[in-house]
Amino acid sequence: MADMRRCHECSDLHAIGDACPTCGHDSSMRDKMKCALQRCMMLHHRGLPLEWTRRCTSCDRAIFMLETTCPSCETPHTPIRDELKMLLIRLRKAMQATPDRAHTPVPTAVVAWLRAANAAEKRTAKATRDENTAKYRHFKALVGAIEARNLPMLKELLAEPITPLEQDAVYQLYTRCGTRRVST
């Protein structure tokens, strides 16, 4: 059950690495990795032993399994081909182990990876939000120009590219206001 997750579209349970069999929704690899790491952290906090590390080939120190360079000797390592598959294998191994009650903190590299993933999501969400806000303001300016029957402003605003859906909405509003056709 630890390697299962709920679909964002239909809330049906399915394996972390697979697409939803019910609706076909497939999450991004970053979302799948994030989910698998959070499950690993949950099992770690419950006392199940989890192997978070791999060995550096030159200095023989333990490094976080997703890191591509050793932090101490800075030797580059070949990245793991299928990180998600490796995480899920380690997750299943941890589920079969018996709990160990000695509490150890989650490695800082795991927390750092999750913070970086969250920061990337926030930057993407902010960019999308800013773009949507700009589109909304442009649309509101179009509505204001139509209602005020300000033809020069309307021509200027219509010179900027808008989506077909916005064009339809502007046309409906334009015809509803009873304004005559604007020649461009």
Considering the domain architecture, whether residues 89 and 2 belong to the same structural domain is answered as yes
What pLDDT is stored for residue 91 in this prediction?
83
Q: The domain containing residue 152 runs over which residues?
A: 107-184
Please say whether the beta carbons of 174 and 162 come within 8 A: no
Please say whether the beta carbons of 43 and 3 come within 8 A: no
pTM metric for this prediction: 0.53
Q: What would the mean pLDDT of 81-104 be, rounded to a whole number?
A: 77
Write the pLDDT tens digit of every residue in 106-119: 778 888 888 888 88
Considering the domain architecture, whether residues 37 and 62 belong to the same structural domain is answered as yes
What pLDDT is stored for residue 119 in this prediction?
85
Which of 105, 127, 155 finishes a domain? 105
- For the chain, the domain total comes to 2
Considering the domain architecture, whether residues 181 and 133 belong to the same structural domain is answered as yes
| Measured CA angle at 35 (ends 31, 38), to 5 deg | 140
Write the pLDDT tens digit of every residue in 120-144: 888 888 888 888 888 888 888 888 8
What angle in degrees, to the nearest 10, is found between the helix axes of 164-176 and 108-147?
Answer: 30
